Copies of this chain bind each other. A is one copy, B any other.
Amino acid sequence: MYILGLDVGTTGCKAVLFNVDGRLIAQSYREYLLYHPKPSWSEEEPLEVWRGVVETIKEAVAKSEVKVDEIEVLSVSAQGEAFTPLDRELNPLYRCITTWDDRAVKQHDEFLKLIDRAELFEITGHPSSPVYTLFKLMWFKENKPEIYEKTWKFLLWEDFINMLLCGVPAIDYSLASRTMIFDIRRLNWSREILEPSGLDEDKLPEPHPSGKVVGEVSRKASDETGLDEGTLVVTGGHDQACGTLGVGAINPGATYVATGTVESIVAPLHKPLLRREMIPMGFASYCHVAPNRYLILGANPTAGILLRWFRDKFGEKYVEEASKRGVSVYDLMMEDSSKAPVGSQGLLIAPYFMGAGTPNWDTYARGLIIGLTVAHGKPELIRAIVEGITYELRLNIETLEKLGVEIEEIRTVGGGARSKFWLQLKADITGKRVVLPDITEASSAGAAMLAGLGAGLYKDVDDAISKFYREFKVYQPNLNVKKTYDRFYRVYVKLYPAVKNTYREAFQVLEAAGREQ
């Protein structure tokens, strides 16, 4: 018996096939395009994403040589916020508007005159921001009234895929939380938000708990995907939440750290944590995909992307050598940087190249390098980048701990988890036990666990975890190295407060320079 976990991400989608014992059997990946009709707008073409989902399902199944009738059930893990308007016949009426699209700044700012930011946080668990679905729906109603009127449902990616597969517009609580319209304690759309927003509740999908059967693959969907008609469709969740389940993190203590282009830090909770000081820090707390669990989410928007930046702007020699030797350029860069001493000879880098994430949460912040001498070269800079990202992880962990969140160990996936050097560095800088799990396709694994739970293949979530989650390798902090890092870290955390005021000034100067040139 087999389970399919689908993961619809920000730049591509994956289909991952697991057996009922939680072994990864086959997977497939497709990238899709992002469209930018204006520089700060960001859209996806709904049918291109759907085609990606269809192709990855077919490819994963073909690779696995599993018979489709042995695939019992599937579930979707999805990026947050992004949504598409559909008419009754399921035709997309506009492109999908994604997270990093800033068209709704005005709607956001105006809405905050109608409802208090703290109240919004109390209801939704999220500090308000124009990225959330709510404000973009308001933009739609204001700027595209004819499309708004014609829209039957505005669907996020989980419910969009569920709709096309089984004809039911079902969203789960965790992904619904990312709209800023969902009441995370009453577990339903919030009247307190819908009413002042002027939006219609019946244009939203139906919220369900994760891991619930909502339908079966239809004849039409079967024809398209090659899946058997009748294959069960189960609610999945927000990709960060699915990933957290995917590494078995459902109880306080085990923390999920996904180190990709962006780094996410997710800690499971028994109840939502809604302390007001979290609002300026940017921490969100909302529904987990595990039953009766919540989570708290922190993020560093510029993690692995800095290594790509370094490769593209300064790494020609690494690129040439990697191509000559047929190895990964990142492996070469990490190998080189691992030869630089602990603390990169006094070099500290604050990775705020696109603004600071949690907990400094500052859109004006930018990258900072301090401590440079003429002895510093590429190895020290690369190491300082990796150390800086990891200091920022420690800052998030320590801030979460001060907020009362329990963090015992880090279970980590993503590009950053491919480097043993970085894994050990995570342990040495944070002082935590760092676990590389056996399955690093955490979001798809989480979706598959929810699918299996929905289909009754597991007794309960602990049973599912016991099948899917195993430690592949454990990294313990080297306490001598940690002692040195403790010292550098104490300097690191003082940098942002020291230069904070200059960030806003520099931003204004740059804006003025842009107007003059």
Contacts and interface: CB of A to CB of B under 8 A. Distances in A.
Contact of A346 (B342, B366, B377): B366
Contacts of A305: 374
A369 B371 contact: no
A368 interface: yes
A494 B503 CA distance: 11
A50 interface: no
Interface stretch (A16-24, A92-100, A311-319): A311-319
B506 A371 contact: yes
Contacts of A374: 302, 305-306, 309, 353-354
A484 B366 CA distance: 20
A431 to B, nearest CB: 16
Given A313-B376, A313-B378, A517 B342 contact: yes
Nearest to A511: B346
A369 B502 CA distance: 13
Contact of A372 (B314, B368, B507): B368
A342 B501 CA distance: 22
Interface in A309-341: 309, 312-314, 316-317, 341
A312 B505 CA distance: 33
Contacts of A487: 509, 512-513
Contacts of A484: 512-513, 516-517
A409 B306 CA distance: 43
A424 to B, nearest CB: 16
Nearest to A489: B509
Nearest to A377: B313
Interface in A284-319: 302, 305-306, 309, 312-314, 316-317
B372 A353 contact: yes
Interface in A366-408: 366-374, 376-378
A368 B366 CA distance: 13
Interface residues of A, number: 51
Contacts of A367: 369-373
A370 B517 CA distance: 21
Contacts of A516: 480, 483-484
A222 interface: no
Which of A316, A342, A346, A377 is packed against the most chain B CB atoms within 10 Å?
A346
A348 interface: yes
Contact of A368 (B317, B369, B376, B513): B369
B346 A510 contact: yes
A499 interface: yes
A352 B421 CA distance: 31
Nearest to A510: B346
B495 A348 contact: no
A316 B317 contact: yes
Nearest to A505: B491
Contacts of A188: none
29 contacts: A305-B374, A306-B374, A312-B377, A313-B377, A316-B317, A341-B513, A342-B513, A342-B517, A346-B506, A346-B509, A348-B506, A367-B369, A367-B370, A367-B372, A367-B373, A368-B369, A368-B372, A370-B499, A370-B502, A484-B513, A487-B513, A490-B505, A491-B506, A494-B502, A494-B505, A495-B499, A495-B502, A498-B498, A498-B499
5 A-B pairs with the lowest CB-CB distances in the bound complex, closest first: A367-B372, A313-B377, A346-B510, A369-B369, A487-B509
Interface of A: 302, 305-306, 309, 312-314, 316-317, 341-343, 345-346, 348, 353-354, 366-374, 376-378, 480, 483-484, 487-488, 490-491, 494-495, 498-499, 501-502, 505-507, 509-510, 512-513, 516-517
Given A366-B372, A369-B369, 18 more contacts: A305-B374, A314-B314, A343-B513, A345-B510, A346-B366, A346-B506, A366-B370, A368-B368, A371-B506, A480-B516, A483-B516, A484-B517, A487-B509, A490-B505, A491-B506, A498-B498, A498-B499, A498-B501
